Amino acid sequence: MALIKYATREIACKIVYYGPGMSGKTTNLQYLYSRIPEDRKGKMISLATNQDRTLFFDFLPLDLGDVFGFSTSIQLYTVPGQVYYNATRRLVLQATDGIVFVADSQTWRKEDNILSFMNLKENLKANGFDINLIPLIIQYNKRDLIEIMDIEELRNDLNTMNLPDVATSALKGNGIIDTLRVVGKAVLSDLRKKFKR
């Protein structure tokens, strides 16, 4: 849920990048950090292992400026992909306003993607979210590699709800800003509806 401070006219929204281990969640944030102007971003924080695997989460705050007459920011988080960090994943999902599910397009990651998406559904439910009501975008990452699944196969596996989706290469930056625009627009649209109630 967006944190709204009426006294200071500030809004902070939370977007979580979720997906299997090594699918490119951290690389998404690193690319965004490298492209966003200094005056629009805070410090990126990463808690990783020696093998560059996310241990707890990554965090990147972004300033959107004035939205609805409020100073608005988006806080980007990633979750660890490894199964044994499920409690951390659930914790990071709390109070989220939107989700980017980062799927790994490599053929050998098919089952990992499906299991991770099922885990996302379980953790959303445990946090009191309805997956049909929260802004959720699916990103088909690593499209720059050779042995990858067709987009249609990925959609059949993961996107039975006909969610917005984007084909990307986080390493090269292809589609990464588009993903943020799509999820950001969905989150702000959802927030606008709440303001009208």
Q: What is the mean pLDDT of residues 19-27?
A: 93
pLDDT at 65: 83
pLDDT digits (tens, 9 = 90+) for 72-126: 889 898 988 776 678 888 999 999 999 999 999 999 999 999 999 999 999 999 9
Q: How confident is the model at residue 52 (pLDDT cuts 50, 70, 90)?
A: very low
Q: Could you confirm whether domain 3-196 is CATH 3.40.50.300?
A: yes
The stretches of 66-175 forming alpha helices (DSSP H) are: 86-93, 110-126, 151-158
Name the residue ranges covered by the structural domains of the chain. 3-196
Q: Are strands 10-18 and 70-78 parallel, antiparallel or unpaired?
A: parallel
Other CB atoms within a 10 A radius of the CB of residue 170 amount to 26
pLDDT at 45: 79
Q: What is the mean pLDDT of residues 2-31?
A: 90
Angle, vertex CA 99, rays to CA 93 and CA 42, nearest 5: 80
